[in-house]
Chain A
Amino acid sequence: MAVAEMIKSIAQAPEKEYYLPGHRTCAGCGPALAYRLIAKASGKNTIFIGPTGCMYVANTSYACGPWAVPWTHAQITNGGAVASGIEVAFKQLIKKGKIKDEFPNIIVMAGDGGAIDIGLQAASSMMYRGHDVLFLMYDNESYANTGIQVSPMTPYGATTMFTPSGPEIPEAKKFFPKDPMAIFCSGGHPEVKYGATASISYPVDLMNKVRKGLAVEGPAFLHVQCPCPKGWTYPADRTVELGKLAVETGMWFLYEIEDGVKKWNYMPKKLKPVEEYLQTQGRFSHLQPEHVAKMQAWVNQRTQLLGMEVPLPPAQ
């Protein structure tokens, strides 16, 4: 896709689907919704690489898959490396005249583990080497495919199978998450000319970011928050609502960095207290007021660090 044609509203989004019904994702699955929107935005001339994760296991059961475009599995470790090989192969085969294909959109659909934890080395090297690939991290904030275990993206204070809460560790998870945009899109990977955060709750914004990422020459990175009813413990019909609440409370941000320039895509007038977000999810139900205060202090600090100038709730 040489030039990104921007989508102005959901009514103008392409009708043609490339991620079709017929898979085993959970009701209310955020990553499945993301896949549908991403495939719609990227279109027919697309190849997906799916490192091991929910979007591999729940989609490809029984040796078939819901995509109308080519899709290949990669190990959870090597999405970036397999994509690198595919990209250079297409460039070389086209250059040598061995195939007549148009150079395709190549998208890695990696979960948080496959992108920022066990898959970090391959992702970083793919971006360092400048491969023309969109590395997309669908972030459901845990290793969900294996039954919800902690990942570097699991928020502070969340319970997972590996981070239960108990008298010795009342807050459950102790660490704050990694910041993938800081790792990939803040100068550390000079070939990355476009990076953005997005959310399934802002579908037009998400689809346009996919198109922008594909339009730039070289690697692009998208970090997409995808609420997970099973992992976060909330009713399946609240997925989109929770994605919005995350943005309204500063638990998620919508911005892009193009050629080093940051642009906010959505900024709430003022941040709602983080407690409003925490109380919607079972994974935070054990938190004591001091933990909530610690979380609010982190949100406030992060908001200021990212340069979002909005009124903040008190952090105590």
Chain B
Amino acid sequence: MPIKKRGTGLTAVADAWQLADIDVTASYPIRPYTAVMAEVAKRIANGQMKCEMVHGEGEHAQFSIAHGASMAGARATTGSSGVGVTYAFETYSPIAGGRCPIQALIGDRTLDPPGDFGSEHTDCLTLRDNGWIYGWAENAQEALDNSLLCFRIGEDPEIMLPQIVAMDGYFVTHISQDYVMPDQAQVDKFLPPFKPEFRLDVNKPVIMGPQIEPEMGPPLEWDRNVVMERVKELIPKATAEFNKIFGAKYAPFVDEYMTDDADMVFLLQGAHAVTCRSAIKYLREAGYKVGMCRLRWIRPFPDAALQQILPKFKVVGVIDTNTSYGAAGGGGVLLVETRASVSEVANKPIIQGFTSGLGGETITHEEFFKMADMMKQTLDAGKIIQSSTWVNFNDYDKAAIEVKAAWEQAAPSTK
């Protein structure tokens, strides 16, 4: 029987890893992802999980250990946060290129400087060009579910790619919440055992990762490109099957909220969707016809889904909880990807960018109201007023202008 539990995104993923009967995991401490390893260590010590935990000497080693374990045929996991994610950078492409479907849990965290523990999506987004499958979970339940879904998609013999279960640090990794742990029979029905066609086997010797000549590289890269396209096809199928077996209601790519009659929407990913929904209720009462689109995946990017969905609206406000200094349009990664997705669509909406929720700050109701107000001005003007806006820094809404004027009056020397 499924069990009702109270826990965090980290204990929820530990539950998923237990249900998936992982063989090897590799740890190294860094906040905020660390508690998943503490949880797994406890379960190994008390016999609840049959798994070998290797204490890596750093994140580079963690991912390398999981890579080696996967080549030997094990279902292997690891995880990290912040600068730990970037310390392991060398290993991401070899793991994906070697078609080793390991799974990493990333509880995101601001990159240094300034040594901020808070959630920010930048660390994990730096991996987006390496060929890993990933998306952000909104809460503990989705973290657990994404873990199982990722194993299923990544280990598919036609795919064989590593995956990241990403989640907002603290908001999802640490806030205690209710979720349901499915039972083993459900999981066994959904997730077959990991049996790779090729592994390190002395009775069937293979050579893995050989050096090649320049003309032999592009076909391998083409294959990695093709397989990512195949992931886009598999996601709806696997999600539908997941929903059926576990009684869930996930949209394959984009979770929509109050979009039926909306003329403008917030587009974002991860835990800030929770506050966003609540802010939308107030905004609706105030007469704003606003909704929300939450991305379930960042790789592969749900471009086809957005091409279907976004033309329904007049203005899209993309909220980036990440930095991509000097990016096209002045915003973050999601703004660039969203604009590119619909660039060739005839009746595309006006897309403007907001940078908010950096450094682990909550995006407050007031900030959502401000963004809605700025989107409304865009709607009324029928054109972009400002390509992208860092909320609380260069807002152009009326309330913000008034606050700024008051501040300048109080401190004239800063003019």
Interface residues, chain A, CB within 8 Å of chain B? 44-47, 49, 56-57, 59-65, 67-75, 77-78, 81-93, 95-96, 98-99, 101, 104, 121-122, 124-125, 129
Residues of chain B within 8 A (CB-CB) of A61 are 210-213
The smallest C-beta distance from A97 to any residue of chain B, in angstroms, reads 10
The answer to whether residues A72 and B205 also contact, given A78-B61, A85-B65 and a CB cut-off of 8 A, is no
- With A81-B65, A83-B68 in contact, do A129 and B54 touch (Cβ < 8 Å)? yes
A85 to B208, Cβ gap below 8 A? no
Given contacts A88-B52, A89-B74, A98-B73, 6 further A-B contacts (CB under 8 A): A61-B213, A74-B64, A75-B64, A78-B91, A83-B68, A93-B23
23 residue pairs bridging A and B, Cβ less than 8 Å apart: A60-B207, A60-B212, A61-B210, A62-B210, A62-B213, A62-B216, A68-B205, A70-B207, A73-B211, A74-B68, A81-B56, A81-B64, A81-B65, A81-B68, A85-B69, A86-B69, A86-B200, A88-B52, A88-B54, A89-B70, A93-B72, A98-B23, A122-B61
Candidates B69, B205, B210; contact of A88 at CB < 8 Å? B69
Residue B24 lies at the interface, judged by CB distance under 8 Å to chain A: yes
Closest to A83 in B: B68
Residues in chain B near residue A90, CB distance under 8 A: 72
Say yes or no for B94: interface residue by CB 8 A criterion: yes
Residue in contact with B67 in the complex, picked from A57, A69, A82, A98, CB distance below 8 Å? A82
What residue in chain B is nearest A90 (Cβ atoms)? B72
Q: Roughly how many angstroms separate A83 CA and B56 CA in the complex, as a whole number? A: 12
- Is B314's beta carbon under 8 Å from chain A? no
Q: Is A77 a contact of B202 with CB atoms below 8 Å?
A: no
| Interface size band for B | 35 or more
Whether B207 contacts A64 by the Cβ 8 Å rule is yes
Known: A67-B207, A69-B202. A82 touches B23 (CB 8 A): no
CA distance A65 to B212 in the complex (A): 10
A85 to B23, alpha carbons, bound, how many Å?
Answer: 11
Verify A122–B200 contact, CB threshold 8 A.
Answer: no
Residues of chain A lying within 8 A (CB to CB) of residue B206? 70
| Given A91-B52, A121-B57, A125-B56, also A85-B202 (CB < 8 A) | no
* Docked complex Cα distance between A122 and B88 (Å): 13
How many whole Å from B15's CB to the nearest CB in chain A? 19
Closest to B50 in A: A96
Across the A-B interface, the 7 shortest Cβ-Cβ residue pairs:
A85-B68, A73-B209, A81-B64, A60-B210, A89-B72, A89-B74, A82-B68
Q: In the complex, what residues of B have CB within 8 A of residue A98's CB? A: 23, 73, 193
- A98 to B90 alpha-carbon distance, docked (Å): 31
**B-side contacts of A74, CB under 8 Å:** 64, 68, 209
- With A75-B90, A93-B74 known to touch, is A85 a contact of B66 (CB < 8 Å)? yes
Closest to B74 in A: A89
Q: Which residue in chain B gives the minimum CB-CB distance to A60?
A: B210
Q: Is B13 engaged at the interface, CB distance under 8 Å to the other chain?
A: no
How many Å lie between the Cα of A75 and that of B90 in the bound state? Answer: 8
Chain A residues, Cβ within 8 Å of B56: 81, 125
A47, A88, A90, A104 pick with most chain B CB within 10 angstroms? A88
Please name all residues of chain B whose beta carbon is closer than 8 Å to the beta carbon of A124 when the two chains form the complex.
57
Q: Is B233's beta carbon under 8 Å from chain A?
A: no
Q: Contacts of B54 on A, CB cut-off 8 Å?
A: 84-85, 88, 129
| Given known A70-B200, A78-B91, A129-B55, contact A89–B68 (CB-CB < 8 A) | yes
Over the window 215-235 of chain B, the binary record of Cβ atoms lying under 8 Å from chain A Cβ atoms (1 yes, 0 no) is: 010000000000000000000
Interface centre among A56, A73, A89 (most CB of B within 10 A): A89
The answer on a CB contact under 8 Å between A45 and B212 is: no
With A70-B200, A82-B65, A89-B23 known as contacts, the answer to whether A65 contacts B210 (CB < 8 A) is yes
Residues of chain A lying within 8 A (CB to CB) of residue B213: 61-62
Interface mask (B165-194 → A, CB under 8 Å = 1, otherwise 0) = 000000000000000000000000000010
B207: chain A residues at CB < 8 Å are 60, 64-65, 67, 70-72
Instruction: Determine whether the beta carbon of A72 is less than 8 Å from that of B71.
Output: yes
Is B358's CB within 8 Å of the partner chain A?
no
On whether the beta carbons of A84 and B58 are closer than 8 Å, the reply is no
Which of these, A72, A75, A92, A129, contacts B200 with CB under 8 Å?
Answer: A72
Using known A-B contacts A86-B71, A89-B23, determine if residue A101 contacts B61 with beta carbons closer than 8 Å. no
For A84, what are the chain B residues with a Cβ–Cβ distance below 8 Å? 54, 61, 64-65, 68
Q: Which residue of B lies closest to A81 (CB)?
A: B64
Chain A: minimal CB distance from B99 (Å): 13
Shortest beta-carbon distance, A101 to chain B, in Å?
7
B51 at the interface (CB under 8 A from A): yes
Measured CA separation A44–B205 after assembly (Å) = 10
**Residues of B contacting A62 with CB < 8 Å?**
210, 212-213, 216
Asked if B71 and A57 sit within 8 Å, CB to CB, the answer is no
A89 touching B73 in the complex, CB below 8 Å, given contacts A63-B212, A73-B209: yes
B209 touches A67 (CB 8 A): no
C-alpha gap A88/B55 in the complex (Å): 12
A122 touches B57 (CB 8 A): yes
* C-alpha spacing A121/B74, complex, angstroms: 24
Contacts of B205 in A (CB 8 A): 67-71
Which residues of chain A are near B51, meaning CB under 8 Å?
Answer: 92
Cross-chain contact B67 with A45 (CB below 8 angstroms): no
> Are A88 and B24 in contact (CB-based, < 8 A)?
yes
B318 at the interface (CB under 8 A from A): no
Judged by a CB distance under 8 angstroms, whether B279 is at the interface is no
Beta-carbon nearest neighbor of B71 in chain A: A72
Q: Within 8 Å CB of B50, what residues of A?
A: 92, 95-96
**Chain A residues closer than 8 Å to B58, beta-carbon distance:** 121
Given contacts A45-B202, A64-B207, A86-B71, contact A77 B60 (CB under 8 A): yes
Q: How far is the CA of A83 from the CA of B212 in the complex (A)?
A: 22
- Chain A min CB distance to B55 (Å): 7
Q: A47-B202, A61-B213, A121-B57 are in contact. Are A77 and B90 (CB under 8 A)?
A: yes
Flag if A63 contacts B67 (CB, 8 Å).
no
Q: State the CA gap A88–B66 with chains docked (Å).
A: 10
Complex: A90 Cα to B206 Cα, angstroms: 16
CA distance A174 to B29 in the complex (A): 39
On whether A73 and B208 interact (CB within 8 A), knowing A44-B202, A89-B74, A121-B57, the answer reads yes
Contact partners of B210 in chain A: CB under 8 A = 60-65, 73
Which residues of chain A come closer than 8 Å to B203, judged between CB atoms? Answer: 101
Query: Which residues in B have their C-beta under 8 angstroms from that of A67?
Result: 205, 207
Q: Flag whether B76 is at the interface (Cβ < 8 A).
A: yes
Q: Which of A56, A70, A125 contacts B61 (CB 8 A)?
A: A125
Interface pair B72/A60, CB less than 8 Å apart: no
Instruction: Return A18 CB to nearest CB of chain B, in Å.
Output: 9
